[in-house]
Amino acid sequence: MQDGSAEYDLNHAAVGLAGNEVRSELNKNEEELLKSKEERKKLEEENQTLLKSSKLKDDLLSSKSDEINRLIKSNSELRSKLTQGEAERTRVVVENQVLQQKIAMMEETQKTMSKGQPEMLINDAETKVACTASTACSVRNTDKVDVLKRLSQTEARLSLSLDENKQLREDLKDMLETHIDLQSKLADSGTLEGESLLTNSENKMMMSSRRTKSVGAIEIQRELVHQQASVQTEAAIHGSEAISIMLKRLELEYAQLQNEYEQLQHSFEDLLNRLQDAEEKQAKSILEKQNEIWSKGSEALERTEVQHGELRKSITCLDGLCRMLQSRIEKLENDNKCVSCRGELLHKHNSKQKTEVDKVQKDMKNLREENDNLLKDNRRLLDELKNKTSSDNDSLRQEFADIKHKYEEAQQRLSIIAAESLSRGDYRILSIDEKNSPIKLAEEFRCDLYGNDWCDAYLMLTAKLGKDERKATQILLDLCTESYLFVKRCARYQLDTVYNALLNPSGNNFRSGQRNSKRRNGDDIPELFRQQIISVRMQPSADLIASLMTDFLEQFEYERSRHLRSINQKDLHEISPYISKCVRLSWRMAVQEPPMYLLFKIKRGTLLDKTKFDVYTVNGELVDFLVWPAVLKGEHGECLQKGVIQPLNAKV
């Protein structure tokens, strides 16, 4: 039954190890798959960012091209405006030349009319008066009513001419005001259309004023000639005195009208001069503005050409960048394909591992079922065994009681025989107490100390204090061997001290004034005393163990081994139960006769002695390091309990 359970434990451990390996492999595959997914995700994100950047650059290129088109369009518009301005300038210059020619012609006609024609008209009137004076006598029979009517008509015409003169003055004032208004509007607007309107309106005003002035002057001269002729005729009729008075009055009026006409002529010339100055200034300002517009347009055109060249360079650079980005995108796509292929391979491998895991899980399930069946069989067998042994318990108890009674009787007889033997001098009779026998001590050393206390201390060092497995193993081994060597020395020293105290109670090493040349040790103690001392030392008191523990720790502070230098007092306090158990068992083994021996001096690389040592976690033939010492009956005696050695891995 024990062999079956051991085989089941081995199978269960093997299945567990295989399952752990498969799980670790699955975890690794899953981690690689996750890493590949993360890499693929990163590549996709980089691809998206590159696509966004390429899209932004395309938008930038389109915006730059739109801006170039807009600049080209504005450049063409500026050129068209420049051509229109030049055409308008030439048209204005032609119109100004035509107007100047017309003004010159009108001035010439006005000069001829103002200078030559009135004199001619006056001469004609005088000749007509002289001609009619001869004939005036023949018309004496005309009525005075006709003469008065004519005079009233001439006076009415003169009043009309005066009214027309006033109207002309008012028209000139209106023309000046409109000219000033147009100049102010032109200054406010500053456009070519306003200037052309101003020049056209001024030209029209000048022509209308000249026409009105010339027509008015001609009519006035004609009226004057007509009045003079009528006055002369009347004077011829009424007499020379009346005619002379009338002529003087008419001459005065004519002189006044002539003065007014000259004043109007001067004001008209001033207006013409001012108008010419304004036209010249206007033409200069128009030319300056056109030149400024042309220079600005040429500068803007140069700037646009420079910008166009820079934009072409930037477009070429962006094209190269786009090609580079496209190649990088293609590379990333290829990498993405590789990653996807790798992911597919990992997925296939993962599915394969999953099938293997499922298979292992099925095997584990079958093993669990077998284990359950074995446990059921075990329980059944235990029940049968209990039922079978329940009937024998009473008889066994009775036999145990009889054996115990016989043992007590044997102890009594042995004590009697021992007393008789001691009285006869026979010291070969020993106690049959097996509690402190070497076999029991060796079993306690391996099963209790190594099986329980060593495991607790090992877990404390690895889990709580953070030591690695090999370091913790070496620390616990050194504590065990150091405590054994220390206690062995103390036990030998105690035995020698007891013997010297028995032989020399006073502590004096001299006899008759001479020094002993030879000091006796515990080997020379008589057998009776030796057996009594062994029986006493087999039962160490708590004070003795505490004293040994204190002395060992004090000596341990100064004589640490290589592995014990990394442990401090606090760590020793955590594993003090293990140290105390090592000291107690070492003392009980050291006081045996002969003292029990711990085999722990094993060199690395030597051949493993399987009669004295078991393997730790791996199999092999050569020694790597010692885990637990073997227990011998003496230094060269038989092996009571095997030790534990970690061999070198055979695979390595």
Per-residue pLDDT of 391-401, as tens digits, reads 677 777 787 78
Q: Write out the two tokens for 462.
A: 């690895």
pLDDT at 596 over 90: yes
- Given a contact cutoff of 8 angstroms between Cβ atoms, the answer to whether 625 and 604 are in contact is yes
Of 342-346, 370-374, 587-591, the poorest mean pLDDT is in 342-346
Which pLDDT value is given to residue 622?
92
Closest CA to 257 of 172, 163, 175: 163
Q: What are phi and psi of 383, to 5 degrees?
A: -60, -45
For the chain, what are the domain ranges? 403-432, 433-505+520-595
What percent of the chain shows pLDDT beyond 70?
67
Q: What is the mean pLDDT of the chain?
A: 75
Which pLDDT value is given to residue 197?
44
3-state secondary structure (DSSP) of residue 404: helix
Which pLDDT value is given to residue 487?
93
pLDDT at 485 over 80: yes
Which pLDDT value is given to residue 293?
83
| Cα–Cα dist 421/428, whole Å | 8
| Cα–Cα dist 126/133, whole Å | 10
Closest CA to 103 of 232, 262, 352, 272: 272
* Mean pLDDT, rounded, for 357-379: 87
Kindly report the pTM of this predicted structure: 0.37
What percent of the chain shows pLDDT beyond 90?
14
pLDDT at 224 over 60: no
Q: Write out the two tokens for 521.
A: 């040790």
The pLDDT tens digits of the residues spanning 597-636 come to: 999 999 999 999 999 999 998 888 999 999 999 999 888 8
| Cα–Cα dist 292/285, whole Å | 10
- Share of the chain residues as helix, strand and coil, in percent rounded to the nearest 5: 80, 5, 15
Which pLDDT value is given to residue 444?
92
| Cα–Cα dist 573/582, whole Å | 14
Q: Which residues pair with 510 in a beta bridge?
A: 515
Q: What is the DSSP letter of 565?
A: G
Which pLDDT value is given to residue 147?
54
Which pLDDT value is given to residue 261?
78
- Given a contact cutoff of 8 angstroms between Cβ atoms, the answer to whether 223 and 154 are in contact is yes
The conformational region for residue 231 under phi > 0 = left, psi -120 to 50 = alpha, else beta, is alpha
| Cα–Cα dist 86/93, whole Å | 10
* Amino acid present at 642: K
Which pLDDT value is given to residue 632?
94
Helix 576-590 vs helix 542-558: crossing angle, to nearest 10: 110
Q: Write out the two tokens for 363.
A: 């095997």
Select the more confidently predicted residue: 268 or 222: 268
**Count of CB atoms within 10 A of residue 150's CB?**
16
Which pLDDT value is given to residue 459?
92
Closest CA to 531 of 607, 593, 443, 589: 593
Q: Write out the two tokens for 65.
A: 């091209």
Start-to-end CA distance of the chain, whole Å, equals: 36
* Amino acid present at 274: R
Which pLDDT value is given to residue 476?
92
| Cα–Cα dist 242/373, whole Å | 177
Where do runs of H (alpha helix) occur along 504-560? 527-537, 542-558
- Given a contact cutoff of 8 angstroms between Cβ atoms, the answer to whether 532 and 499 are in contact is no
**Count of CB atoms within 10 A of residue 617's CB?**
10
Q: What are phi and psi of 575, to 5 degrees?
A: -110, 25
Q: Write out the two tokens for 375.
A: 């446990």
Which pLDDT value is given to residue 441?
92
H or E segment at 626?
strand 623-628
Which pLDDT value is given to residue 448?
92
Give CA 178 to chain center in angstroms: 74
pLDDT at 427 over 60: no
pLDDT at 362 over 80: yes
The pLDDT tens digits of the residues spanning 72-128 come to: 887 788 778 778 877 877 887 787 777 777 777 766 765 665 554 444 544 554 555
